[in-house]
Structure 1
Amino acid sequence: MTWTVYLSGEIHTDWRERIINGAAKAQLDIKFTSANTDHESSDAAGDVLGAETESFWRDHKSSKVNAIRTKTLLEQCDVAIIRFGDKYKQWNAAFDAGFCAALGKPYITLHADDIIHPLKEVDAAAMAWAQTPEQVVELLSYVTQQ
């Protein structure tokens, strides 16, 4: 069985590549999906629907267009990895975790121990909490073994 793993969360570090490369090295049968990680094109996703004079409405339209991809890929995945970094508040990652919880979709959180408290509810619904991408690869190796 090929597993589909959705990678959600911060876009400013190499955590996605570390998981993807680690899974390839371990020869795991995994297809990875993700939201658009290009900040500029993500912000412009709704521009095709017409120019906006207020940034709120541009962001609103783009978030809805981006949500088509996110919602579809989260519904289709077998497990999601939800990454919370330390540079920015990832409200989108928290939303994705809540969406997974509502769907009954298993997810693994990935974050440092210094944000355990603000993520306590998110972590409580997660199947696991990892602190490194390498731990995620080990978890995926275990759960995808035949």
Structure 2
Amino acid sequence: MNVTVYLAGEIHSTWRDEIKKKSAALNLPVEFVGPMEDHDRSDNIGEEILGEQPNAVFKDAAASSFNNLRTTVLMQKADLVIALFGEQYKQWNTAMDASAALALDKPVIIIRPEKLHHPLKELSRKANATVENCDQAIKALSYIFE
């Protein structure tokens, strides 16, 4: 059985690489998908497709359309979503992706540090599991295959 996992969360750190390496080390039959990790490409995709936009608001709107298209397609194909809420960056996209996954009735594992317990309490209660780090998420993922 192969499982497709959508990795939702900030694109500035290497947390996805950690998840992928640890999954590979355990030989888990998992394929990972997620948002565009090239920040510049994500910000500029609207203009790459539609051409130069008149200002930053239109540029962001154009990029958001195509990033949302990508996310919707990949998340709908995913069997499971792992959503990381880190401490360093604003987490609006992560919250949106986790909520969308729940609305699609996708199983969700939330990774968040204990100090973010309170602001994420409702989302955590809706998720299938909430853990504090990537190692715990890998253990939860590997449990599926036992």
Q: Does the TM-score normalized on the shorter chain lie above 0.5? A: yes
Q: Report the secondary structure of 2:7's partner residue.
A: strand
One-letter amino acid of the counterpart of residue 129, structure 1? T
Counterpart for residue 42 of structure 2 = 42
Query: Could you tell me whether the CA contact under 8 Å between 1:4 and 1:79 is conserved in 2?
Result: yes
Encode CA deviations 1:20-61: one digit per residue, 9 max, x unaligned: 111100010001111101111100010020212321111111
- Aligned identity (percent) is 39
Counterpart for residue 134 of structure 1 = 135
Counterpart for residue 14 of structure 2 = 14
CA distance in 1 between counterparts of 2:14 and 2:131 reads 15
Query: Could you tell me whether the CA contact under 8 Å between 1:3 and 1:144 is conserved in 2?
Result: no
One-letter amino acid of the counterpart of residue 17, structure 2? E
How far residue 77 of structure 1 moved from its aligned partner, in angstroms, is: 0.6
Q: How does 1:55-70 map to 2 (within 5 A)?
A: 55-70=56-71
TM-score by length of 1: 0.95
Query: Could you tell me whether the CA contact under 8 Å between 1:23 and 1:137 is conserved in 2?
Result: yes
How far residue 99 of structure 1 moved from its aligned partner, in angstroms, is: 0.6
Counterpart for residue 25 of structure 1 = 25
Structure 1: any 5+ residue segments left out of the alignment?
none
RMSD: 1.0
Q: Report the secondary structure of 2:93's partner residue.
A: helix
CA distance in 1 between counterparts of 2:90 and 2:145 reads 31
Query: Could you tell me whether the CA contact under 8 Å between 1:107 and 1:126 is conserved in 2?
Result: yes
One-letter amino acid of the counterpart of residue 119, structure 2? P
